[in-house]
Structure 1
Amino acid sequence: MTADPRLFAHDPQRRWSEAPAPAGWHELRPSPARARSRTALRSAPEPLAAQVTEALPGEALERLADEGEWTWVRTVHDGYLGWARAADVGAGWTPDLEVEALRAHAYAAPRVSAPIVAELCRGARLAAGAGEVVTEEHRRWQPVTLPGGQAGWVQAVVLSPLAVPDPASFALTLLGAPYVWGGRSAWGLDCSGLTQLAYAACGLSLPRDADQQHAALSTVDVPRRGDLAFFPGHVGLMLDGRQMVHANATAMAVSVDTLGEGEYGGRLLASLRGYGRWPGPEAR
């Protein structure tokens, strides 16, 4: 079986490959790295190449090879390959804080009027900074070190875990979030980015792309809340037997649609390829 090029680093043009590399090729040796900010991973080392996925601030990466201003990396959490600007990839370090808010900012000082120094999102990783927590007008400010090494402050509330009863409930918190091809955060995400994020909020790890998610789940004929619905190149998360929440390029946002209802719902139902259910015990 041919290795999936989204996951296995093998480049005939550059004669690069991870082990086992063919004779005469350069064998890639991954080194630990972290994304300095929300970082686009592209299909090629070119600024206009398609974004295939996104690394969140502070997210763990493997650096595979460098070419000019670009570096070939793999996201550790799902093993996905892509090209990032080398300036957006830093050395490996050990964060000890995780952002729980859907969207957040880091500030230059512990007050809301201070300049914003970083854009954060759920899943961003930070390190506790030097100094003590500061209370200002009943707000608790946590000093942090950002993935690029810069000092900043975040309100402690953005680090507080959110109650997530199930993946469908989490997906609904993202209604209206912009559709972005390859995106994985509330600042912008695609269909499989939404389902991966929603399942992860409940401790369930899905692969990155819709076809990979389809292969990972158990096929069911009658959907229930939390199951995934699959279409050619698309995936949505079922709210019940007919309603589905999904990030889509028709609304250019996360929206709720009903299979078989209206012109768009009719097209969705006609192209439905089946439903998938988490194969083991549910996390909630």
Structure 2
Amino acid sequence: MDTAINNTAIINTAIAPLRKDPDRRGELTDEDFYGEKVIILSEVKNGFSYIRTDYGYEGFALNCNLIQDECKVREWEDSYKMVVVNSFADIVAVPSVRGEILITLCRGALISVLGEADSQGYVQVRLVNGVIGYIKISLLGRYKVDYSLEMEDKLRYDIIQTALSYMGCQYRWGGKSPLGLDCSGLTFMAYQMNGITIYRDASIKEGYPIKPIPPDQKKPGDLLFFGGHVAMYLGEDRYIHSTARKGSDGVVINSLNAEDPLYREDLAMRLIEVGSIFS
């Protein structure tokens, strides 16, 4: 019997909260998206399991949000998958705008794609539980699981564009979806959607691709660390980040330049480190 498969589960809900404690009201530390693989480390009380995500984050998830059936997990693992790139995307029972909505997914969710799109742009997909549905192919993108540094300028551009796609989203502690993100949720998703798995929290950690660089060598797409907070550098002293500061309350652009109207003195004075995958 395959032990690895037996310990593997697939997220079976649009957004599965990952909590600090096995409590539905416990602190949200992360969110896992539909179709993502997790490893069950142990089953605990109250219908929770202690899990580890593919990117190394650990926490408590509800068992009802996980598919653990070995056959379904194996089928999902072996299937051709694409990723939702739109903020939200409906999967419907029939290829029609009038079709029953089976589930609404958010950016970052994975879906198993069957064949080519029809003349109306619908493609047949299989849900984790085996149910067949349909989604507009324009709402999906290539599921990137690796990256190359050879085209550095393009990769930096793509990472920034992904971050900018969350502009205006509200701040949510532990969040990383268009419904709300925290600071490291934003930077994590900007890289993850481009095939790069960085550390989920607001710090540089050994074993992940972000490495410290001299602050004066920062370029667009690099990360700025302020001690408990992280932002993405855009160039010309500006950066994008998700902040709970009153008046911002979400994903906004600010500046390190005191003469810029978007200047944030509190952060400019706290910049302690710059990190890059291009070091």
Q: Indicate whether the TM-score tops 0.5.
A: yes
Partner in structure 2 of residue 220 of structure 1: 214
- Kindly indicate whether residue 238 of structure 2 is the aligned counterpart of residue 257 of structure 1: no
Partner in structure 1 of residue 98 of structure 2: 113
Name the CA distance, whole Å, in 2 between partners of 1:213 and 1:238: 19
Partner in structure 2 of residue 239 of structure 1: 234
Q: Which amino acid aligns with 1:102?
A: N
- Quick check: 1:177–1:186 contact (8 Å CA) kept in 2? yes
Q: Provide closer, same or farther for how the CA distance between residues 100 and 47 of structure 1 changes in structure 2, counting only shifts above 3 A.
A: closer
Q: Return the match for 2:160 from 168, 175, 180.
A: 168
Deviation larger for 160-169 or 238-247: 160-169
- Quick check: 1:54–1:183 contact (8 Å CA) kept in 2? yes
* Offset from partner CA, 1:111-168 (integer Å, 9 cap, x none): 1222322121333222235xx7563xx5221121222433321111122449973311
Partner in structure 1 of residue 243 of structure 2: 248
Partner SS, residue 271 of structure 1: coil
- Quick check: 1:53–1:184 contact (8 Å CA) kept in 2? yes
Partner SS, residue 167 of structure 1: helix
Name the CA distance, whole Å, in 2 between partners of 1:150 and 1:177: 31
- Kindly indicate whether residue 180 of structure 2 is the aligned counterpart of residue 188 of structure 1: yes
**Number of matched pairs:** 247
- Quick check: 1:110–1:134 contact (8 Å CA) kept in 2? no
- Quick check: 1:99–1:121 contact (8 Å CA) kept in 2? no
* Offset from partner CA, 1:34-61 (integer Å, 9 cap, x none): 1112101100100111111111101010
- Quick check: 1:224–1:241 contact (8 Å CA) kept in 2? no
RMSD: 2.6
Name the CA distance, whole Å, in 2 between partners of 1:48 and 1:169: 34
Q: Return the match for 1:143 from 124, 133, 141.
A: 124
Q: Return the match for 2:11 from 12, 15, 35.
A: 35
- Quick check: 2:185–2:200 contact (8 Å CA) kept in 1? yes
Q: How does the TM-score come out when normalised to structure 1? A: 0.78
Paired-residue identity, %: 29
> By how many angstroms is 1:100 displaced?
3.8
Q: Provide closer, same or farther for how the CA distance between residues 49 and 264 of structure 1 changes in structure 2, counting only shifts above 3 A.
A: farther
> By how many angstroms is 1:245 displaced?
0.5
- Quick check: 2:254–2:262 contact (8 Å CA) kept in 1? no
> By how many angstroms is 1:169 displaced?
2.1
- Quick check: 2:16–2:32 contact (8 Å CA) kept in 1? yes
Partner in structure 2 of residue 99 of structure 1: 83
Deviation larger for 192-201 or 51-60: 192-201
Q: Which amino acid aligns with 1:274?
A: E
Name the CA distance, whole Å, in 2 between partners of 1:178 and 1:172: 13
- Quick check: 2:202–2:228 contact (8 Å CA) kept in 1? yes
Q: Provide closer, same or farther for how the CA distance between residues 212 and 148 of structure 1 changes in structure 2, counting only shifts above 3 A.
A: farther
Partner in structure 1 of residue 49 of structure 2: 71
Q: Provide closer, same or farther for how the CA distance between residues 263 and 167 of structure 1 changes in structure 2, counting only shifts above 3 A.
A: closer
- Kindly indicate whether residue 41 of structure 2 is the aligned counterpart of residue 56 of structure 1: no
* Offset from partner CA, 1:212-255 (integer Å, 9 cap, x none): 45984223222221111111211000101411111111222211
Q: How does the TM-score come out when normalised to structure 2? A: 0.79
- Quick check: 2:108–2:193 contact (8 Å CA) kept in 1? no
Name the CA distance, whole Å, in 2 between partners of 1:61 and 1:271: 35
Deviation larger for 205-214 or 160-169: 160-169
